[in-house]
A and B are shown apart, each in its own frame.
Chain A
Amino acid sequence: MTPITATPSRSLAVVQVSEPSQVTSPGQIMLRRFLRHRMAVVGLILLTIILVFVIGGALIFSESYANQLALGEKFKPPSLNHLFGTDSVGRDVFARMIWGGQISLMIGIVSVVISIIVGTLVGLISGYVGGWVGSLLMRLTDALLSIPTLVLLLLFSRSLVGNTSTLVILGREFSASVIAIVLIIGLLNWMRLAHIVRAQVLTLKEQEFTTAAIAVGARQTRIIFQHVLPNCLAPIIVNATLGIGSAIVTEAYLSFLGFGVLQPTATWGNILTGAQARLAEVPWVWFFPGIFIILTVLAINFIGDGLRDAFDPRSHH
């Protein structure tokens, strides 16, 4: 992937300088490219609708309602009382979709923030600084990459089974397993990004502007964070966007296999926990979470695709 250097956009600005009102910054060009990507705009709208659902819905249904047990009402098919039916202990699936959606999206975003920070740092250090620290970091990266991600995640999340403690954050009670899952997904998903950033840094290191910065006596941290890092932002942002989608799916897989977020805290993945033995009889328990996961991941993938095109000066769609 070519780094976004300032050259192409700047020459564009020079051409248009005769009409000062039309001067476009690189940011504006990217925004325009992004908005011209039809599927990306569809994705943005879709994601907004989902956000309105999980945030707006929370104003109508309380979390205590979403967690309310009603054993006599278990596995009721969708009706006017329960739009999406009820789960294995009679909780309203619709309300759990709302509150679970918040957790699922939160898991996606926070774990990606963690993996972006770790992946970028590892990539920068092993690419720019190198030395034994760099090669040790790359060895770790390669070791983690030679185990399938889901296997790796299951290995570490198995320790959560049986840990039923809860935490209170911002007045809301969470199962502590939420934090653990966020950490596990975040800390075990940075390897590919580290490789991408490292490759980028290795080419940037040899370019003239880095040499110039060294020549004027800039400190190493300044070169890394002011000159090299900004040129790696495009792949990092694209990777982060797509990562949110895969983190949401990953949480769903872990929960499906019984190694994810524990009850009563809802996620899109663990709504179907407790129904594993009879999934064929109660399709609404997996159908609605499945549809919401697909729509969210689809929206995120569209946006990621749009961002990739917007950042890439070579693509002319």
Chain B
Amino acid sequence: MNDIVEPIDKLEPLKDIGGVAQPLLQVVSLTKHFPVRGGLFAPSKTVRAVDDVSFAISKGETVGIVGESGCGKSTTARLLMHLMPRNSGDIIYDGRTVGRELSLRELRRGMQMVFQDSYASLNPRLTIEESIAFGPKVHGMADKAARLLARELLGKVGLRPETFANRYPHEVSGGQRQRVNIARALALSPRLVILDEAVSALDKSVEAQVLNLLVDLKREFGLTYLFISHDLNVVRYISDRVLVMYLGEVVELGPVDEVWDGPAHPYTRALLAAMPSSDPDNRTETPPITGDPPNPIDPPSGCRFHTRCPFAEAMCGEATPKLTEITVTGHQAACYMAIPGSGHSKAPAAGVQ
């Protein structure tokens, strides 16, 4: 019965166009405002969930996005996947602008997403095999070939196909379900996988296994990850570069070690200081940051962090600091203290880097 070895059909990944030098994904001024209806006569307001966010992801790297809840991490992910319409901004996939040179259908072949809630993201009425095979079938694969591919992928994510293919989502554990979701995302042979809090809901030991699986899959399939998480340790472990978001804006961006060792934005510093240490002699005595994030319906003027920033000066409330390159390695921060010659009392002098 094992003599017949049919070659497993796969969807061809989208062709590499620009080579290594061209970023796999460029996000330019991505903006999403949600209208919030006031009362009957109150004027309607807008939540600036994602405001003028720009970044790029190189081929083969892992970019982490960190930030508090409500800072726009997941909205960014959903905007990238085109699960909700954006107000403005361009999404450029391997040099091709989505909506102009690249169709949405093609983009969805090239970019897939793993959701946080492993249970809610699987249809309870479909077997695991059917769930994974759904995407390839949508893109024209025959039922039989898609099921074979699903079983193959189950093996790749560490689940025995004979055991798991015909099970329903409620019959497997949370970690196994998340493996299924990863397999489902991989079924379309994407080059970019967005992991939206993909390991956050798992318990620690399972989380570590799934993280290792992600690292292995990345190597095997030559994937690029956008890894969204609130867990700083996990982000540091898996990411090459990290992007720190606050109230819908990118406040700092850079290689993960550089950001960890020398955070330039006071918000990043506070975030890192809020990480609990496992060393009792090194316990956090004072709260690194106070207060809740301001209401995104009415974000503060100027730098959005100035209401909670211990170093805020008058200029911080007046104009928004631009995301500015502060090292040659691509470390950027949107803080007047990091921008040379900005006029902030703690800013480095102009011309000195």
Decide whether A and B assemble into one complex.
no
- A interface, CB within 8 angstroms of B: none
